[in-house]
Amino acid sequence: MSPTALTLSPIVAGAWRMAEWQLSPQDRLRWIEENLELGISSFDHADIYGGYRVEALFGEALALAPSLRQRLQLVSKCGIKLVSPARPQNRFHCYDTSFTHVRASVDESLRALRTDHLDLLLIHRPDVLMDAAELADTFDGLRRAGKVLHFGVSNFTPPQLELLQARTPLATNQVELSPLHLDPLHDGTLDQCQRLGLRPMLWSPLAGGRLFSGEDERARRVRDELQRLAAELGVALTTVVFAWLLRHPSRPHPIVGSSRIAASREALAALDLRLTPEQWYRVWTASTGHEVP
């Protein structure tokens, strides 16, 4: 595998909840195909999703049309150990970024996804016991073996990313960002991404559905503002949210975690919508509850 630059689709399809979708293998394949038809070619996984079941569900569907593998990018994450019947060797919920665990996790993901390589592997959560030099060597070995093409992190603070980035090239930091979770905008995370030229990936862009159904004061304020913008712009509320995320100069890749292809279409529509600073800060102000200083 050649070490070419990582290319992900502007919007990424998230498979986190696939085990809950109750879809047949053929229906899961159709979900993959419909996203590809729309231009969403990157699919986000983690070994633990669905109690270590989701990667195998995806792989079962992909095996029905193996030629599709050439058209898509597979992203996975490891480093969290759950106590689960699927992993009887895990006796305690903890983090593990050791050589042994990361290599074993990659091999398990490759088997489940029925592929010979991952396009991108992320360390799922910061591990206080992470040995940056050892992990960098682990990444190098996986890269040389052709099992993983690119590496990154997820939920890392800027100092934690810097520690690993100093020893091995990283491609992204996948973090939580939504109009109801603004921390990466202000804690240096997205500033660091700009400085290093890393395009972040964004999970839970709709705040786990709280943007639509949350009844707390903050959620209602933000939803009201998003609805006003959606009416002004003539688009769906979801499209406004994704346009708000995409407006950031770090050029993020938001993740859509829905079985509904309509949700993918609404997210993709945001690529043609660029919010003005005034429109963007209307949402920020609604979320923070105050104007800019």
Report d(CA 151, CA 167) in Å as an integer. 12
Report d(CA 148, CA 75) in Å as an integer. 10
Q: Is 49 an annotated catalytic residue?
A: yes
Q: Are strands 80-81 and 94-95 parallel, antiparallel or unpaired?
A: antiparallel
CB 189 within 8 A of CB 239: no
Amino acid identity for residue 110 in this structure: L
Report d(CA 90, CA 94) in Å as an integer. 9
118 secondary structure, DSSP code: B
Q: In Å, how far from its chain's centre is CA 90? A: 25
Residues 6+ apart with CB under 8 A from 147: 106, 107, 110, 116, 117, 118
Report d(CA 184, CA 30) in Å as an integer. 34
Phi first, then psi: what are they for 181, rounded to 5°?
A: -140, 95
Tell me which residues are annotated as active site: 49
